[in-house]
Amino acid sequence: MREFQLIDRLAARLAARRADTQLTIGDDAAVVAPAPGQVLAITTDTLISGRHFPDDTPAFDIGWKAIAVNLSDLAAMGAAPAWLTVALSTPVLDGPWCDDFVDGALAAIGDAAVDIVGGDTTRGPLSITVTAIGMLPAGAALTRAGAVPGDVVAVTGTLGDAAKGLGLWPARADTGGDPDTAFLLRRLARPQWRNGAAVRALAHAGIDVSDGFGADLGHVLAASGVGARIELAALPASEALRRRAATDEERRDLQWRGGDDYELCLTLPAASVDAARARLDCGLTVVGVIESEPGLRVVDAHGRRCPPFESDAAGWDHFGGRGAV
Amino acid sequence: MREFQLIDRLAARLAARRADTQLTIGDDAAVVAPAPGQVLAITTDTLISGRHFPDDTPAFDIGWKAIAVNLSDLAAMGAAPAWLTVALSTPVLDGPWCDDFVDGALAAIGDAAVDIVGGDTTRGPLSITVTAIGMLPAGAALTRAGAVPGDVVAVTGTLGDAAKGLGLWPARADTGGDPDTAFLLRRLARPQWRNGAAVRALAHAGIDVSDGFGADLGHVLAASGVGARIELAALPASEALRRRAATDEERRDLQWRGGDDYELCLTLPAASVDAARARLDCGLTVVGVIESEPGLRVVDAHGRRCPPFESDAAGWDHFGGRGAV
């Protein structure tokens, strides 16, 4: 298959859904018309085979994840996703592989009003760079800098599943029949982006949990110039993780340091939590409180400080591995 | 150097120039505010080491080219560039290399009001994916589909230089002192994006010459449902190419089939050519005319048809090499 044929094949599957997409794939650039009064959120993320997903990940899951991690970044800003570009580098052009990739990308979009309006296919090592553009009202962006003392810290869904899934990946053939394993592997392979736009008006600050909860919360605290007290035992865990983690210590470590969950960490007034939870379909768990004193105070169920969790909030560094920077 | 440090280092050099860039690098997404009444052009292009530039290309030139090829796509739509994201995958993080890369990227932007508002750095094989977003008035996009019979076909700058430069690349150490070689190599390494926005209102259709003039003109003809008659001898050639091409045949072949020139091919009324040329700083040469009869008719200086040029208008296919698709 030639590049032009691939582009035609993809373009035929990617007809625009949005009325404000005026020109989609096929010209030098797409043309879109943002709504009056709206500003745009723009983000880009690259996934590289062997680094951001195992080399033997199915094409469907690669397509899913490339889209989901970018829509998660928009969600963390409170933006409603609208347009995507997808740049795919792949060693060989393979029609069925590309179809599966597009299936996964479209499945990650789901029924959201999001158009893939541009792309590029090149021969090279397998990697995908997606750029996502979303809309939100002017002045309403949910940044990392908006946390104020008194806010509660809340997180969607559950934490640590993807990191446990990564640990289970090499032995997945032997554990494929176990529903907990299947759940955890799926959390790794097909992260679900959350509806950040729905809770934008209720929250003060937001970030998505991609590097690890502790690290990502650290970014919010630094940007906002505040501190936080977090109850380790309050971090939400799936039943599957509770059952499959060898020890409570392993589970807590995965919840705190594991990346790739793509849940939202929000800070918001305690009085807004129930309303925010009602606008989401994934749960919203209060795990702590923002304090004026800088720094991160992590306490166990007995109120005792847990220094190892406080000192390791730097998360994942794609070049240097984990550790303080 | 760690990823976070690199991001800090880059962010410090990429302060926003535009008043409508409300939030730049450092959060989950950038926030920008398009002007009322404007629509956005969005494009993305990936450059892969060894495929889109020689492996031993200096970092400055890689940064330049990654930006320029995307701004060229916006120019072909008649859009004024505004915002960029840059996703860099590199085997090792090297501060001086990254500084040179950013120097090149900023040099390609020049004094245009363009902000790099987002990016991603990952460890992997050297490749760069840039997404470019530009603005233009609603309904004014210069597409490939707007060519009408009677338009002239015009091209900016000169053609074939980059392809000749690529041929000279391996022996560049031996010919570095030759100004023609230096010119041709520079045309390859640092393509100059043209000011498409300045001529948008004068032209009917546009495309940038990245795959080869014949191939790219073919895209315009197909999208517009028209044909064209092109005078081969009218294609603009630099003095350097005239001197360095071994034969007239080689020169014409490079002009017709060589890619990577990133000149604009426009169709416009003959009466608008002088005005369009005056708005550009790179020349604008009429090379033919749009005709209602589909197909491409290429004639030499004596009016004789040149079938080899007519049948090979498919240009460069990144997977399959040159040839019809």
Residues 115-154 of chain B with CB under 8 A from chain A are 117-125, 127, 129, 131-134, 136, 138, 141, 143-145
User: Which chain B residue shows the shortest CA-CA distance from A220?
Assistant: B27
CATH of residue B27: 3.30.1330.10
Alpha-carbon distance B120 to nearest alpha carbon in chain A (angstroms): 6
Last residue of some domain: A137, A160, A190?
A137
pLDDT of B123-150, one tens digit each?
889 999 999 999 999 999 999 999 999 9
Indicate which of B86, B116, B128, B129 best probes the interface with A, i.e. most A CBs within 10 Å of its own CB: B129
**Do A81 and A108 fall into the same domain?**
yes
Cβ of B306 under 8 Å from any chain A Cβ? no
Q: Does A5 touch chain B (CB under 8 A)?
A: yes
Q: Are residues B126 and B164 in the same domain?
A: no
A281 is a domain residue? yes
Extract the tokens encoding B111.
Answer: 């004094």
pLDDT at B130: 96
Does residue B255 belong to any structural domain of this protein? yes
Q: Are residues A100 and A175 in the same domain?
A: no
Of A45, A87, A223, the CB nearest to B44: A87
Residues of A in contact with B3 (CB under 8 A): 317-320, 325
Element (H, E) at A234: none
State whether A162 and A260 are in the same domain: yes
So what's the pLDDT on residue B7? 66
Quick check: is B304 in a domain? yes
Whole-complex ipTM: 0.90
Residue B315 predicted with pLDDT over 50 = no
The reply to whether B106 and B194 lie within a common domain is no
Look at residue B317 and tell me if it is in a domain: no
Same domain, B161 and B252: yes
Among the ranges A168-177, B91-100, B292-301, which has the highest mean pLDDT value? B292-301
Residue A296 pLDDT:
94
**Averaged over B219-224, what is the pLDDT?**
95
pLDDT at A2: 55
B41 has a chain A CB within 8 A of its CB: yes
Region B186-205: what's the mean pLDDT? 97
User: Would you say B27 is a known binding-site residue?
Assistant: no
Same domain, B43 and B108: yes
Confidence of residue B92 (pLDDT cuts 50, 70, 90): confident
Closest-CA residue of chain B to A6: B319
User: Number of helices (H) and strands (E), helices first, in chain A?
Assistant: 12, 12
* A132 and A256 both lie in a single domain: no
pLDDT value for B321? 41
B161, B295: one domain: yes
Alpha carbon distance B60, B113 (integer Å): 20
Question: What is the model's pLDDT at position A68?
Answer: 98
Q: Which of A106, A137, A168 is the last residue of a domain?
A: A137
Tokens, residue B179: 């100004």
For B81, the domain range is 3-137
pLDDT in tens, chain A (325 residues): 456 566 677 777 888 899 999 999 888 999 999 999 999 999 999 999 998 998 999 999 999 999 999 999 999 999 999 999 999 999 987 888 989 999 999 999 999 999 999 988 888 899 999 999 999 999 999 999 999 999 999 999 999 999 999 999 888 877 768 999 999 999 999 999 999 999 999 999 999 999 999 999 999 999 999 999 999 999 999 999 999 999 999 999 999 999 899 999 999 999 999 999 999 999 999 999 999 999 999 999 898 999 888 875 544 444 444 332 2
At residue A42, the pLDDT reads 97
In the structure encoding, which two tokens stand for residue A291, read together?
């304090």
Q: What is the C-alpha separation between A291 and B146, in angstroms, rounded?
A: 60
What chain A residue is nearest to B264 in terms of C-alpha separation? A28
What is the chain B residue with the closest CA to A86? B44
What's the CA gap between A140 and A194, in Å, rounded? 18
Q: Count up the domains in chain B and report the number.
A: 2
Residue B322 is classified by DSSP as S
Q: Are residues A122 and A243 in the same domain?
A: no
| B280 found inside a domain | yes
Q: Read off the pLDDT of each residue in B151-155 and give the average, rounded to a whole number.
A: 98
What does the DSSP 8-state code read for residue A111?
T
Kindly state whether residue B96 falls inside one of the protein's structural domains: yes
Task: Please check whether residues B296 and B250 belong to one and the same domain.
Answer: yes
Cα maximum dimension of chain A:
63
Q: pLDDT at position A316, please?
A: 41
Tell me, yes or no, whether B277 lies in a domain: yes
How many beta-carbon contacts under 8 Å exist across A and B? 228
By the 8 A CB rule, do A124 and A93 touch? no
**Nearest chain A Cα distance for residue B176, angstroms:** 30
Q: What is the mean pLDDT of chain B?
A: 91
A224 and A86 in a common domain = no
Per-residue model confidence as pLDDT tens digits over B4-40: 566 677 777 888 899 999 999 888 999 999 999 999 9
Interface of B with A in 269-288 (CB under 8 A): none
Alpha-carbon distance values, B170 to B48, B174, B181 (Å): 18, 9, 12
Q: What is the per-residue pLDDT for B324?
A: 27
CATH number at residue A250: 3.90.650.10
> How far apart are alpha carbons B118 and B31 in whole angstroms?
10
Domain assignment present for B143: no
| Partner-chain contact B51 A124, CB within 8 Å | yes
B110, B137, B164 — which closes off a domain?
A: B137
